[in-house]
Chains A and B, each alone.
Chain A
């Protein structure tokens, strides 16, 4: 699913050296491995699948099997410098709960997700009248793990309700070579993915 590592390069560029990072939905641990190699972070992962945890153990990444919809409340406030939700938030049952917890346990959070406002996704729905199925959202509506889809604009409109401020925005599209290309011009229409660095206003 993440063989080309959507947005990895941007996430890595956002993370400073030597910080404590929690990657929620860390998959096979590739992003954490890269962060350890390139930024010397102290990384931890949470992954829902047994297979993902085993692949993390193979890479020497500390990761525990849990459903992030359930298991974040025990962490103390500001336990991590960064909490990463990379292509994960749209899979959660309770994104509201997850985002509030992420803002509480992390000093900063990086949230990246497929942008449902991307023009080709909009056009798919507009002209075909069915739920979009494309490279970004490669599932039928009935077997999709993406159960809470959102747009870049949705995220910017959540700031007061969820008491966070946006520290930076690096919305992007993925090029043929798998690299991320930041889209600064009308990103809600032109970027395939949204990427926000946010922090709680209470911090």
Chain B
């Protein structure tokens, strides 16, 4: 797979564009799960490939906490980084754009072109900040459903995502069982563990404790850079496995000429985390980070169905591909196995594999031959079987 990437680097980069879809303009509004009203609502989205005549080849890609609609390709010829799932989406790749019409939508509550706490509240002309209503994963899905309707697609061949994207994918199959033929849920869970909630909370506290956060009211260049970057550093620790961190950084110093007697000898792993933090504050909004991590914490399919995960999946009609990674401790394999268990008890069609890797939770974003092959083969047989 790596070879292919290098090959594409030598040719003209694949330029993609973000689109925007706005709905629920006044006097209409979107009613959220908690009863609060939101409108107008904009969703940023990108599409790759071509929708066929029967509109039967559409796949919706769902992103994780810090993702965006930009899943593949480049925004310009000078763009340094491709979309977040470029290893898997493109001509000849697992989500083959020669065969499928791929849609990736940003989430509401986000900050990459969709309506979120950084958007202007039309009633006040000021950013919503903390007056933005709390959103849930189900709200994210309800907003995406409007986008899919808008695109004229009656049934999706598949919904797919990792981590929070996997939560959305599962929610899609439960909220709109007749609209999804299949579901690819990777490194995800029917509810986040207490450990996961704890780490999200430490990240939020880092933001809250930054004086520049100012109860969510910040603007321009004065924003909680330190808090958000610390939250991101904590996040990155949870995405890596102990083994991966050891292999990637070990105890190496960033600058080997720096003597050990120095007050601040910087280990490579420290430098990596700082770099991730600094990069993140350039593109992400601190309030969005709070809202989205909260949505992840609150996601609980078992609680939604009276404490029974089996009941949650009773009426789904999708066929599933569930993938977990052996060293993922944020969304451990046991979480995926619970989903698998609930689905098979209900007699649903399911493929599940626990992929052996050192890459931890991050594995779903990294090139992986087995994951690539399973997605490709699953989609091929779902397309063949689909009655769309």
- Return A55 CB to nearest CB of chain B, in Å: 9
Check if B356 sits within 8 Å of A50, measured CB to CB: yes
Known: A53-B351, A53-B353, A64-B351. A58 touches B345 (CB 8 A): no
Option from A63, A74, A79 in Cβ contact (under 8 Å) with B351: A63
In Å, the complex CA distance between A50 and B62 comes to 25
Contact B351 A62 (CB under 8 A): yes
Using A50-B353, A50-B356, A53-B352 as known contacts, say yes or no to A64 and B374 having CB atoms under 8 A apart.
no
Interface status of B44 (Cβ within 8 A of chain A):
no
What's the least CB distance linking B40 to chain A, in Å?
Answer: 42
A54-B370, A75-B344, A75-B345 known; A65 vs B381 contact (CB < 8 Å):
no
Which residues on B sit within 8 Å (CB–CB) of A185?
none
CA distance A71 to B384 in the complex (A): 30
The reply to whether the CB of A129 lies closer than 8 angstroms to some CB of chain B is no
Residue of B340, B350, B381 near A60 (CB, 8 A) is B381
Q: Count B interface residues, CB 8 Å.
A: 26
Contact-size category for A: 20 to 34
Within 8 A of B (CB), among A145-174: none
Encode contact with A along B267-281: 1 for CB under 8 Å, 0 otherwise: 000000000000000
- For residue A57, CB closer than 8 A to chain B, the reply is yes
Contact B373 A54 (CB under 8 A): yes
Closest A residue to B378 using CB positions: A57
Q: List, in ascending order, chain B residues with CB within 8 A of A75's CB.
A: 344-345
> Contacts A64-B340, A74-B341 given: A58-B352 contact, CB under 8 Å?
no
Query: For the complex, is B242 an interface residue (Cβ under 8 Å from A)?
Result: no
Instruction: Check B353–A62 contact: CB distance below 8 A.
Output: no
A76 at the binding interface (Cβ < 8 Å): yes
Q: With A and B bound together, what is the CA distance between A54 and B373 in angstroms?
A: 8
Check B125 for interface membership: any CB of A closer than 8 A. Answer: no
Chain B, 348-382, contact with A by CB distance < 8 Å: what is the 0/1 string?
01111111100000000000001001100110110
**A63, A66, A79: the one within 8 Å of B347 (CB):** A79
Q: Which residues of chain A have C-beta atoms less than 8 A from B370's C-beta?
A: 50, 54
CB distance from B6 to the nearest CB of A (A): 25
| B345→A76 contact, CB < 8 A | yes
Closest to B326 in A: A50
Check A50–B354 contact: CB distance below 8 A: yes
Q: Which residue of A lies closest to B320 (CB)?
A: A62
Across the interface, which residues of B come within 8 angstroms of A66, CB to CB? Answer: 337, 340, 352
Decide: A57 and B350 in contact? CB cutoff 8 A: no
User: Bound state CA distance, A155 and B293, in angstroms?
Assistant: 56
Measured between beta carbons, the chain A residues less than 8 angstroms from B349 are: 44, 62
Are A57 and B374 interface neighbours, CB within 8 A?
Answer: yes
B189 at interface, CB cutoff 8 A:
no
Tell whether, in the assembled complex, residue B344 and residue A64 are in contact, meaning their CB atoms are under 8 Å apart: yes
CB of B385 within 8 A of chain A? yes
Question: B47: CB under 8 A from chain A?
Answer: no
Tell me whether A15 is interfacial, beta carbon within 8 Å.
no
A56 within 8 Å of B (CB atoms)? yes
- Contact partner of B345 (CB less than 8 A), chosen from A50, A54, A74, is A74
From A56, which residue of chain B is reached at the shortest CB distance? B351
Check B381 against A74 for contact (C-beta < 8 Å): no
Chain B nearest CB, measured from A24 CB (Å): 13
> Which residues of chain B are within 8 angstroms of A53 by Cβ–Cβ distance?
351-353, 374
Contacts of A62 in B (CB 8 A): 319, 349-351
Contact A54 B344 (CB under 8 A): no
Q: Which residues of B contact A74 (CB under 8 A)?
A: 341, 344-345
**A58, B377: Cβ atoms closer than 8 Å:** yes
Q: Which of B340, B345, B352, B380 counts the most chain A CB atoms within 10 A?
A: B352
- From the candidates A44, A54, A60, name the one contacting B353 in the complex (CB within 8 A): A54
* A-side contacts of B340, CB under 8 Å: 64, 66
- B187 at interface (Cβ–Cβ under 8 A)? no
B321 within 8 Å of A by Cβ? yes
Residues of the A chain whose Cβ atoms lie less than 8 Å from the Cβ of B353: 50, 53-54, 57, 64-65
Given contacts A53-B352, A60-B377, A64-B340, 12 further A-B contacts (CB under 8 A): A50-B355, A50-B356, A53-B351, A56-B351, A57-B351, A57-B374, A59-B381, A60-B385, A62-B319, A64-B352, A71-B341, A74-B344
| Chain A interfacial positions (CB closer than 8 Å to B) | 20, 44, 50, 53-54, 56-60, 62-66, 71, 74-76, 79
Pick 15 A–B contacts, CB within 8 A, sort by A.
Answer: A53-B351, A53-B374, A54-B370, A54-B373, A56-B351, A57-B377, A60-B384, A62-B319, A62-B351, A63-B351, A64-B344, A64-B351, A66-B340, A71-B341, A74-B341
Give the interface of B toward A (CB within 8 A).
319, 321-322, 337, 340-341, 344-345, 347, 349-356, 370, 373-374, 377-378, 380-381, 384-385
